[in-house]
Amino acid sequence: MKIGLYGINLGVLAQREAMLRVARAAEAANFESLWTGEHVVFVDPQQPPSPLVPDTPLADTVATLAFLAGATERVRLASGILLLPQRNPVVLAKELAGIDVLSGGRLILGVGVGSVEGEFEAIGVPFRERGARTSEHIEVIRTLWTQEQPAFEGRFTTLSGIQSRPLPVQQPHPPVVIGGYSPAAMRRTITQGDGWYGFMLDVDGAADAVRNLEQTAGEVERPEHLGPLEISITPRGRLDPETVERFAEAGVHRLVPMPRHLMLPTDTPDAIRDDVVAFVESTAESLRL
């Protein structure tokens, strides 16, 4: 089982020194990956399904991954998840290829459609187009990452007669992990994803998600160039070796726990940062990383 850490850009960890300390502690403790969250803006006042209060610090995903590429050596760097329909895919492909190159091939691209309409209004992207934009943007990025003479003609992006170098280090490209529980997200995962990511699930919830993916795989065709699907979960509750084994039996390949301390009030940032480091170290010891 691969073990990652969720929330490296959230709350206290949006601050430079805290992010550095936790990232390096996780790498030293043999965590496999560091995962960001993403909301470009928060709706104020908070409205469901917005998950966090509006003044929650959340460092930009691309900036965070680029920063960590230079601050770490081995740990993989993942977006969990990047809200793809809110981004320009041509610009994003360039930014992420640079992160993969400068990190020595450590990028994991986790993407999703988003769920808060007010965030889309602020950015100027129609909320109703988010699914279609996500599916097309994935293909635009793959085109720019893999084709010697990239060309694409779609509903939202058309390009030809261009180059965007350097290409990513990873071949054929960094893995694309798709988040979401809707039938559309499940279909997108099977037809376009190298992996699937679920947030705050217990073992039973993870098993249900794996069954849904397996059922979907029987209904839609998976392209030959996509290999076996890798399942990543941010688990609900504490992890111990027995629970990790149960997740593995359910078909999960990577667990990405989130320290509960990140969600506590930030009037004591040093104490929360120290608690997160302690979480990293105790998790590594318990799971014998």
For the chain, which domains are there?
Answer: 2-287 (3.20.20.30)
Beta bridge partners of 198: 233
The candidate with the shortest Cα–Cα distance to 6, out of 259, 198, 206, is 259
Q: Quick count: other Cβ atoms within 10 Å of Cβ 188?
A: 24
Going by the DSSP 8-state scheme, the letter that residue 288 receives in this structure is: T
Please, what's the largest Cα pairwise distance for the chain?
54
Token digits of residue 24: 């390096």
Residues 118, 104: Cα–Cα separation, whole Å: 37
| pLDDT by 10s per residue, the chain, length 289 | 999 999 999 999 999 999 999 999 999 999 999 999 999 999 999 988 988 899 999 999 999 999 999 999 999 999 999 999 999 999 999 999 999 999 999 999 999 999 999 999 999 999 999 999 999 999 999 999 999 999 999 999 999 999 999 999 999 999 999 999 999 999 999 999 999 999 999 999 999 999 999 999 999 999 999 999 999 999 998 899 999 999 999 999 999 999 987 877 667 888 899 999 999 999 999 999 9
Amino acid at 221: E
Tell me what pLDDT residue 99 has: 98
Tell me what pLDDT residue 266 has: 66
* Structural contact between residues 76 and 32, judged by C-beta atoms closer than 8 angstroms: yes
- Distance set, CA 83 to CA 30, 114, 122, 243 (Å): 28, 6, 14, 30
DSSP element (H, E) containing 265: none
Overall pTM > 0.85: yes
Going by the DSSP 8-state scheme, the letter that residue 268 receives in this structure is: S
Tell me what pLDDT residue 180 has: 96
Residues 220, 100: Cα–Cα separation, whole Å: 31
Site of tokens 């390009």: 159
The candidate with the shortest Cα–Cα distance to 196, out of 237, 52, 205, 15, is 205
- Beta strand pairing status for 152-153 and 158-159? antiparallel
Residues 38, 80: Cα–Cα separation, whole Å: 7
Tell me what pLDDT residue 267 has: 73
* Structural contact between residues 232 and 254, judged by C-beta atoms closer than 8 angstroms: yes
